[in-house]
Chain A
Amino acid sequence: MAYDVVVIGSGPGGYVSAIKAAQLGLKVAVVEKRETFGGTCLNIGCIPSKALLHASEMMAEAQHSFDTLGVEVTPKLNLPKMMAHKDATVASNVNGVAFLFKKNKIDSFRGTGKVLGQGKVSVTGEDGKVEEIEARNIVIATGSDVAGIPGVSVDFDEKVIVSSTGALSLEKVPGHLVVVGGGVIGLELGSVWARLGAKVTVVEYLDTILGGMDGDVAKQFQRLLSKQGFEFKLGAKVTGVAKSENGATVTFEPVKGGSAETIEAEIVLVSTGRRPYTDGLGLAEAGVELDERGRVKTDGHRTNVEGIYAIGDVVVGPMLAHKAEDEGIAVAEIIAGQAGHVNYSVIPSVVYTSPEVASVGKTEEQLKAEGIAYKAGKFPFSANGRARAMLHTDGFVKVLADKDTDRVLGVHIVGFGAGEMIHEAAVLMEFGGSSEDLGRTCHAHPTMSEAVKEAALATFFKPIHM
């Protein structure tokens, strides 16, 4: 029997694509080599990291802010139990995907998928048995894997020198955690362990953390993390990560030149990015082209081979679960003969630290570089009533709009719950809305989101509460 669609990989890109295709009446199979469905995101990414972030935030709140509220406690950590919460969260998520596959009558094949060419996929099971499946359409959704440090050999043992995967399952709170790479994943997992008591040092090549984020945001955010005890070594090129007697050492030198420095760590988390994962997929033999960075080359989600599509972390674009999901939906629609489409200019991104960082659209630096005339409005949470009532006054909202048309081009938020607040900006931008549209929409009081309204008011005229 030939399937209409065979999806290789069951991460957010793959499983969503499969469900959508099945809903559109197509006969679908999914190939997954991992024991459970859900890919990086559900097993070793978004979900377990957010579970630990939430739990550790409860700890931090109990330690630092309860006292102000008149609630006196001495919290104690039970790390195995916290890990059990994380594992339970992962389990309920991955089981949810399995249930959805069943419900949508999607077949699954456990094993490593290989593209044999147009219309054919093989699956090699753990026992080495190979099965061939016919597929009118193939969707490559094999995601990404840990990248390591370019030019430096890193021996991940996932105990002392760990990737994000190991950092999600440490057996005890390290005394000193050195994080190589000041991007989203490093800062999130660094935050988890910092809140639980670790001293955290971040070593980053660029002169700023969260490279690519709005400069104002990154600067303010770094200040807030420093207040939480983070130490930063910026503009630092890591030249070696090695195990030592008491843990490991990280050696780095200033990017601008100068003498090298070596620091001791109990645990080193290398979070310098992820690489597209196409190992063993047989793409070269099948004639599927990759780009210069090893990503599957696509045009409108299609590869150069008829009937083969690719989505998610394995193709160009931000490595985000919801971007993968949206591409998954678009591909399913295209295969079903509909007009699938992804609006790449409105993809929100969130950093789940405390406070959170969220943004959608262009940064101020991008607008400058592109020579677009813009205006900006900013509003601090310190002037927001709900923020005061919840002791979450750090951060601000920044709205960027076209100078002439007032169309909103970007919104950036540092603050508690920023990840939920960013969606109104996404909805607005999908409508091509102006800062006046945003500022004149009635925002419920007292909410943190009123700061979004105030920043919009500040963009086209003046804020009320500042």
Chain B
Amino acid sequence: MEEISTKVLVIGGGPGGYVTAIRAGQLGLPTIVVEEAKLGGTCLNVGCIPSKALIHAAEAFHHAKAQEKGASPFGLSVASPTLDFGKTIGWKDGIVGRLTNGVAGLLRKHKVKAIAGKAELIDGKSCVVRMADGDKRIHAEHIVLATGSAPVEVPALPFGGPVISSTEALALDAVPATLVVVGAGYIGLELGMAYAKLGSKVTVVEAADRILPVWDPELTAPVAKRLKQLGVEVLTATTAHALSDDQRALVVRQSGSVDKLTIAADKVLVAVGRMPRTQGFGLEKLDLTMQGRFIAIDDQCATSMRNVWAVGDVTGEPMLAHRAMAQGEMVAEIIAGEKRSFDKTAIAAVCFTDPEIVSVGLLPNQAKAQGLEIVIGNFPFLANGRAMSQDDEAGFVRVVARADNHLVLGIQAVGMGVAELSSAFALALEMGAVLEDIAGTIHAHPTRGEAFQEAALGALGHALHI
């Protein structure tokens, strides 16, 4: 068995792992990253990037269709647009390929060794990777666990055949005529809406009594409305029961009802959450302290074992790529001897539905639950010039602040393109902004960002444009 020694061993090449490795390399630490599937992890291969590419293409097709029907106000018309879905998927694969190759290139550039294979932990200092050309045993001073997450299965609907996870939904051969999405969380709705725009008849089944239940109904209402406009049927308070006998439909049951409903389904996308990948690679040998299903970490991403660190989805919520990356960057710097801790006030959550939703910091009900007295400012895009010129006035920006000293506690938005407003929201929270700070920052005209300033003015009791 080949024996290799290094300073830092990263297990998993997703955003958590590869960013740890790049930063470690930049800081001059000898580093190895082991990845059993493809560099880039969930995010680059079967998550954030391919989903956004598909969403973008679906949006383009949807626009073209609207123009064909003469519904475009912009004076454009098109003759019967057609979709070459194979080309769409090929284009998406091209992007994924370029980005994952890019990660490989970056690792090389920063002298990180990438090993393709599955890492099996031996103890808190070493692992073995079984490879065709012989096994490798790697010793390291520091191990960083970045094994990520995998889709959760519904026991009654095991993956296989027509029952697919987000991974398969991003690589279908054809647009399914009928699609049932189980779970109205962000992944289910992002993909469900995309397929609705590509021409599928989509039904969404959700056990809770509304879509996107982590957020308040005010914030999600514009998405609910758009779903309706797209002809997507949403069945809330409904649970998926099983596939029909002929495997061509899904049987569901609405709460409070004894009757079962059968919905035609060429594909059933199960998107009911993701679980940390903590099994099958010897993690139990380390006997780390766990926090529920996740690996427990402190504010430096240290686990209960010295010099074993964990980053990303395997460490808990929010399971987001940018949290994984921020953790990875920090862990590398700590290993390099820098004084760092993870004290983010704000990790934005973005939902790339139509319209997009952004939430940073506390929601109004969360702030109230903490016993805080709050003021809320809400500015609708229908009073925003940029939104009017883009003919998409759905949604608003909402600012939540303490009533006594105006410290901003949370910022939410729903509307076209609000994903790109999220960074300014996060920065405002990180800087400890009060309402007056936002109200007093000049925002360029005409932009959607003006709605942020107006919402702060509104919370102060004097919005200008409403």
Contact = CB atoms under 8 A, between A and B. Distances in A.
A66 B64 contact: yes
Contacts of B443: 322, 348, 423, 426
B419 A447 contact: yes
Nearest to A446: B48
A428 B431 contact: yes
Given A71-B60, A388-B98, A42 B22 contact: no
Contact of B390 (A54, A322, A385): A54
Contacts of B26: 461-462
Given A46-B446, A73-B64, A464 B19 contact: yes
A72 B433 CA distance: 47
Given A20-B462, A85-B391, A59 B76 contact: yes
B417 A419 contact: no
Interface string B442-466: 1111111110100000000010111
Q: Which of A89, A320, A445 has the most CB of B within 10 A?
A: A445
Interface stretch (A1-9, A92-100, A109-117): A92-100
A100 B431 contact: no
B319 to A, nearest CB: 12
Interface string A295-311: 00000000000000000
B77 A75 contact: yes
Interface string B390-433: 11000000000000000000000000010111111011101101
Given A70-B57, A78-B77, A453-B423, A431 B385 contact: no
A425 to B, nearest CB: 8
Given A69-B88, A420-B449, A437-B430, A445 B385 contact: no
A427 B441 contact: yes
B420 A70 contact: no
B451 to A, nearest CB: 11
A427 B438 contact: yes
A152 interface: no
A442 B49 contact: no
Interface residues of A, number: 99
Contacts of A198: none
Nearest to A19: B464
A82 B289 CA distance: 62
A46 B344 CA distance: 37
Chain A contact residues: over half helix, strand or loop, or mixed? Answer: helix
A465 B438 CA distance: 30
B91 A69 contact: yes
Contacts of A72: 81-84
B388 A76 contact: no
B102 interface: yes
A422 B449 CA distance: 9
A41 interface: yes
Nearest to B88: A70
Given A75-B67, A389-B55, 6 more contacts: A76-B77, A423-B443, A426-B442, A443-B422, A462-B26, A465-B22
Interface of B: 15, 19, 22-23, 26, 43-44, 48-49, 52-53, 55-57, 60-61, 63-64, 67, 72-79, 81-91, 95, 98-99, 102, 106, 320-323, 325-326, 329, 344, 346-350, 358, 383, 385-386, 388-391, 417, 419-424, 426-428, 430-431, 433, 437-438, 440-450, 452, 462, 464-466
30 contacts: A23-B462, A47-B388, A54-B389, A54-B390, A61-B60, A65-B60, A66-B60, A69-B56, A77-B75, A78-B77, A81-B75, A322-B442, A325-B445, A329-B464, A341-B440, A348-B443, A417-B420, A419-B449, A420-B448, A423-B421, A423-B444, A426-B442, A427-B437, A442-B322, A444-B348, A444-B426, A445-B15, A445-B43, A445-B322, A465-B106
Nearest 9 Cβ contacts at the A-B interface: A82-B75, A70-B88, A81-B75, A70-B87, A55-B74, A424-B424, A449-B423, A69-B57, A389-B53
